[in-house]
Amino acid sequence: MVYAAFRSIGAYAPKKILSNEELSTMVDTTDEWITKRTGIKERRIAADNEYTSDLGIYAAELAIERSGLNKDEIDMIVCATISPDYFCMPSTATIISTKLGLKNITAFDISAACTGFVYILSIAKAFIESGMKKNVLIIGAEKLSSITDYSDRGTCILFGDGAGAAVISATDNKDEAIIDVHTGADGAYADLLMTPNGGSGSAHDSLDQEAANCFMQMKGNETFKVAVRTLTKDVVEILNENNINSESIKHFIPHQANYRIIKAVGDALKLREDQVVLTVEKYGNTSGASIPMAINDIYEQGRLKKGELMLLDAFGGGLTWGSALVPFSPLK
């Protein structure tokens, strides 16, 4: 039997910091309001000439280097993004594969918003376990600043740019294998969080209106409630189905949307503070990049060790949700 192992992590955060203070000169808000309601203090913003693929490539190069593999051993790249370099095509994954100098590999993007990283983890696991691929590079990369309306205080305070990547490889050692990945979706809640224009389903408004509606729009308060309910339910299910007690979780790594959401889920699961990984304060919500950026943070701080069990949990537009039980299994 072939299993899939989580071998390595890498991430990249753009240099430019957008603080709450600076945002409060752009819209009617305050550092105090943002901190109290979200836990976010600052977020990173990519440069004008820095695209989603550029963010992804920095993260990917680190993840490949740390995996101990030669980059030519990568046989598939999957990128989760809602802010691709180009609308429709080419995919950001193919641009990254070319920038990495990789030819003749499988490369494609998926759209599952903030749950994107959990979705691509499930894809990597399935391709590896079926024997179709051996070393899959998964990347969550977002330049959300390109689809954020900086005149809307309900959304612009939340989102930031960044990327994270991981290498998932085939192994015959069950002890180092990804234990389980859950993914789900319910389009009935599509209008909670969406970019209404730019696709074949858009209303054909004036060009100005059409451009404005390409930005993210969100019903924040309703999204908040559904997020807490869905995240908690999904995590309880994956733990029960795998007979794993929350005490065995070394690192709970939720999607970094809002500190209050994370706290509510952590409390519902009776997790201790030292089990919960938080990066929302410094990066805000980076959608599909948020979980791998958080994993990278604890890795670089020396807090993530071989064999430790991670519980990932995400929720996002669509609606989509997902969770995963993943031991960290580096080769070296």
Ligand X SMILES: CC(C)(COP(=O)(O)OP(=O)(O)OC[C@H]1O[C@@H](n2cnc3c(N)ncnc32)[C@H](O)[C@@H]1OP(=O)(O)O)[C@@H](O)C(=O)NCCC(=O)NCCS
25 binds ligand X, rule: CB under 6 A:
no
Among this protein's residues, is 255 annotated catalytic? yes
Q: How far is the CB of 313 from ligand X (least distance, A)?
A: 12
Binds ligand X (CB under 6 A): choice among 49, 173, 206, 221: 221
258 binds ligand X, rule: CB under 6 A:
yes
Q: How far is the CB of 47 from ligand X (least distance, A)?
A: 24
- Of the listed 20, 79, 114, 296, which one is catalytic? 114
Report whether 169 contacts 128 (CB < 8 A): yes
Among this protein's residues, is 114 annotated catalytic? yes
Residues numbered 143-162 forming contacts with ligand X, rule: CB under 6 A: 153-154, 157
Q: How far is the CB of 315 from ligand X (least distance, A)?
A: 6
**Which contiguous run of DSSP H or E holds residue 20?**
helix 20-23
Among this protein's residues, is 214 annotated catalytic? no
Nearer to ligand X (CB atom), residue 145 or residue 329:
145
Nearest residue to the partner ligand X, using Cβ: 220
114 binds ligand X, rule: CB under 6 A:
yes
Q: Tell me which stretch binds ligand X (CB under 6 A): 66-74, 181-189, 223-231, 295-303.
A: 223-231
Helix axes of 220-241 and 259-268: crossing angle, nearest 10 degrees: 30
Q: How far is the CB of 23 from ligand X (least distance, A)?
A: 8
316 binds ligand X, rule: CB under 6 A:
yes
Report whether 55 contacts 163 (CB < 8 A): yes
How far is Cα of residue 210 from the mean position of the Cα atoms in its chain?
A: 27
The interface mask with ligand X, positions 63-92, x = CB under 6 A, is ------------------------------
Q: How many residues of this chain interact with ligand X, rule: CB under 6 A? A: 21
224 binds ligand X, rule: CB under 6 A:
yes
- Strands 76-80 and 135-143 come out as parallel
The C-alpha atoms of residue 146 and residue 151 are separated, in whole angstroms, by 13
Beta strand extents in the chain (DSSP E only): 3-12, 16-19, 42-45, 76-80, 106-110, 135-143, 161-171, 180-185, 193-194, 217-218, 251-254, 309-316, 320-327
257 binds ligand X, rule: CB under 6 A:
yes
38 binds ligand X, rule: CB under 6 A:
yes
Report the C-alpha dihedral over residues 80, 261, 194, 94, rounded to 10 degrees.
-10
292 binds ligand X, rule: CB under 6 A:
no
What are the DSSP calls for 102-143, one per residue?
--S-EEEEE--GGGHHHHHHHHHHHHHHTTS-SEEEEEEEEE
Helices (H) and strands (E) in the chain, counts: 10, 13
37 binds ligand X, rule: CB under 6 A:
yes
Residue 19: CB atoms within 10 A of its CB come to 13
CB-count exposure of residue 297 (10 Å: 0-12, 13-18, 19+): buried
Amino acid at 60: A
33 binds ligand X, rule: CB under 6 A:
yes
184 binds ligand X, rule: CB under 6 A:
no
286 binds ligand X, rule: CB under 6 A:
no
Catalytic residue positions, numbered: 114, 255, 285
Contact residues toward ligand X (CB under 6 A) are 29, 33-34, 37-38, 114, 153-154, 157, 193, 218, 220-221, 223-224, 227, 257-258, 285, 315-316
